[in-house]
């Protein structure tokens, strides 16, 4: 049984005891009620700060402490970064290969390079591709 459940059961028993006719004199019952209220007032500040500290402690514990992040966070991040770098490098190599292939076709073609610069030739290519 954890502390919270135990506290709830004690509170319930005390509340039932105050309602029931226990044979305790009113003077004693009043002193017990006053003592209980003082105990609850003394306990309130601790109850208010404990959950906040527990959450902060839990968060730091999950992240691997105050000094750094855990391996569960860093390892997947490193894998994703390596994958993105690999994709970027592959795309750059593909672009370079495409440019190289176009240059090779232009340089090995029977048509001289000046023909590609001719405006009439460009118009002829557009007309031919439209057909």
Q: Which span out of 13-22, 55-64, 101-110 was modeled with the highest average pLDDT?
A: 101-110
Share of the chain above pLDDT 70, in %: 71
The rounded distance, in Å, linking the Cα atoms of 62 and 105 is: 59
Q: State the pLDDT at residue 59.
A: 58
Q: State the pLDDT at residue 66.
A: 45
Residues 100-126, mean pLDDT to the nearest whole number: 80
Question: What mean pLDDT, rounded, does the chain reach?
Answer: 76
Residue predicted with more confidence, 96 or 38? 96
- Tell me the CA distances in angstroms from 23 to 27, 29, 64, 95, one per residue in order: 11, 10, 57, 94
pTM greater than 0.85 (yes/no) = no
Q: Residue 128: phi, psi to the nearest 5?
A: -70, -40
The rounded distance, in Å, linking the Cα atoms of 43 and 119 is: 91
């Amino acid at each position: 049984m954890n502390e919270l459940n135990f506290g709830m059961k004690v509170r319930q028993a005390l509340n039932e005891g105050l309602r029931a006719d226990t044979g305790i004199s009113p003077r004693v019952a009043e002193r017990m009620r006053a003592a209980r209220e003082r105990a609850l007032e003394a306990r309130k500040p601790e109850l208010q700060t404990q959950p906040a500290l527990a959450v902060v402690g839990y968060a730091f514990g999950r992240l691997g402490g105050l000094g750094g992040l855990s391996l569960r966070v860093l390892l997947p991040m490193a894998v994703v970064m390596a994958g993105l770098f690999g994709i970027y490098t592959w795309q750059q190599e593909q672009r370079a290969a495409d440019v190289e292939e176009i240059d090779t076709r232009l340089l090995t073609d029977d048509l001289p390079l000046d023909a590609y610069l001719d405006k009439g030739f460009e118009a002829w290519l557009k007309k031919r591709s439209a057909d």
